[in-house]
Amino acid sequence: MTNPITKNSISKKNRLPGDLTKEQMIARMIRVDHAGEYGAKRIYEGQLAVLGKSESSRAIKEMADAEMLHLETFDRLLVERKVRPTVLSPIWHFAGFALGSATALLGEKAAMACTVAVEEVIEEHYKKQAKQLDEEDSELRKTIEEFAEDEASHKNTALDHEAEEAVLYRPMVKAIKSGTRIAIWLSERF
């Protein structure tokens, strides 16, 4: 039997004392999603800086363009909803580019393995947010659901580009997923 009071939704009826308000939860979502899209932009910039005009660079450029549209959406939402961005942006600026360029230095397949790891975590993160929003903010939920589909598409593109054939694929993906989850947790709060 499940507890009827869960943190799966941000509606007032499911809140417990000490839980974030609906407004605080939505602000946290926008902040972390903005940070994530900025990080993704920087990862792809790092990969493209190393890979140049390789076979994979066209696919990476297309994914980077989609991430740029996502970032522009969250840039707009930050302003419209008066949400402050994460104070960790300077770290994500450097860390994203470093992750992208480091994986690209290991080869195209490793760069694609990085994409698999990051996009899979972000897709799961977006799906969790959409479930939390439920009917609370249908416009934001729709945006997040659309972006989750884009992230799944990016993951599949990377898999189509033989990401799983990268040297040390499993440990690399596991490490990158862990780092991505830590970045999400930190960006939500700071």
Look at 14-18, 31-35, 165-169 and tell me which has the smallest mean pLDDT.
14-18
**pLDDT tens digits, 39-54:** 999 999 999 999 988 8
Residues 81-103 as b/e (b if ≥16 CB within 10 A, e otherwise) read eebebbebeebbeebbbebbbbb
Cα 83 to Cα 72: distance, rounded to the nearest angstrom: 14
Q: Which stretch of 7-16, 65-74, 140-149 has the lowest confidence by average pLDDT?
A: 7-16
Q: What is the pTM of this model?
A: 0.86
Domain 21-189 has CATH 3.30.9.90: no
6 — pLDDT class (breaks 50, 70, 90): very low
3-state secondary structure the chain: CCCCCCCCCCCHHHCCCCCCCHHHHHHHHHHHHHHHHHHHHHHHHHHHHHHCCCCCHHHHHHHHHHHHHHHHHHHHHHHHCCCCCCCCHHHHHHHHHHHHHHHHHCCHHHHHHHHHHHHHHHHHHHHHHHHHHCCCCHHHHHHHHHHHHHHHHHHHHHHHCCHHHCCCHHHHHHHHHHHHHHHHHHHHHC
On the question of pLDDT at 84 being above 80, the answer is: yes
